[in-house]
Structures are given as C-alpha cells and as structure tokens.
Amino acid sequence: MKKLLLGALLASGFASLSASANTIFTCDGLVDDVRYNGYQYVIEFKNVYGVYQDSAKIQQDYLLGQALKAESDGRKGIYYTLVVQSDEGDRRCRDNDGSLTLLALVKK
C-alpha cells in the first residue's frame, strides 16, 4: 500500500511538473520538530545517522496534522519517508539551499 501511494504521488507529480525545473524525490528520516518560523510551518528531520537534513516547508494545511503525528512518532524512533519537492532541481536531502517543500509523509 505504501509503495502504491508513493508511486501514485510521484507519478502525478512528475506529470504535472514535467515542464518545470522542480524535482520530486523521497528522504527517509526521523521527524524531529515541526515549527512555525513567523510566516510558514517547517518540518525538521534527521537521517538514520542522526544528521539533520534540510527543513521542508509545509504549504498544505492538511499535512500539518500528519507532520505533528510524525514528530510524536519520531520521539519513539519511528521513521518516515518524506516526499519532497526541490525548487532547485537537485535530489539531495541535505544541500543547505532551503528549497524543499513537503508533499506527503508515509510511515515506514
């Protein structure tokens, strides 16, 4: 079911973004924090080695509840796959450019 969901999200994303420089990909990690930075919510997460990845902007309201649940699960050591979009076109979860936008969360 999870693979089907990810496949559908990625397929629909690639179809709708094929003419732009945006890139959709996944990052695995523990969700460490969900915070409001003055004008938008962002999600902070760590990879399996405990290294912080780039934070991802939460632009869709329906993702906020899921992100808060993932933060709670992260304290219990439960990993998530984050489906993210990069405005810069690269596929790195940690490149310090701040261009990631959260599209979906899937518990591993």
Q: Is 10 left (phi over 0), alpha (psi -120 to 50) or beta?
A: alpha
67 domain-assigned:
yes
CATH number of residue 77's parent domain: 2.40.50
5 domain-assigned:
no
**C-alpha distance from residue 96 to each of 32, 56, 87 (Å):** 17, 11, 13
Domain that holds residue 94: 27-107
Q: How many domains does the chain have?
A: 1
- Could you read off the pLDDT of 1-51 as tens digits, one per residue? 555 455 545 555 554 544 467 899 999 999 999 999 999 999 999 998 999
Structure-model confidence comparison of residues 83 and 93, the more confident one: 83
74 domain-assigned:
yes
How far the first Cα of the chain sits from its last, in Å, is: 11
- Could you read off the pLDDT of 67-85 as tens digits, one per residue? 999 999 999 999 999 999 9
56 domain-assigned:
yes
pLDDT surpassing 90 at residue 97? no
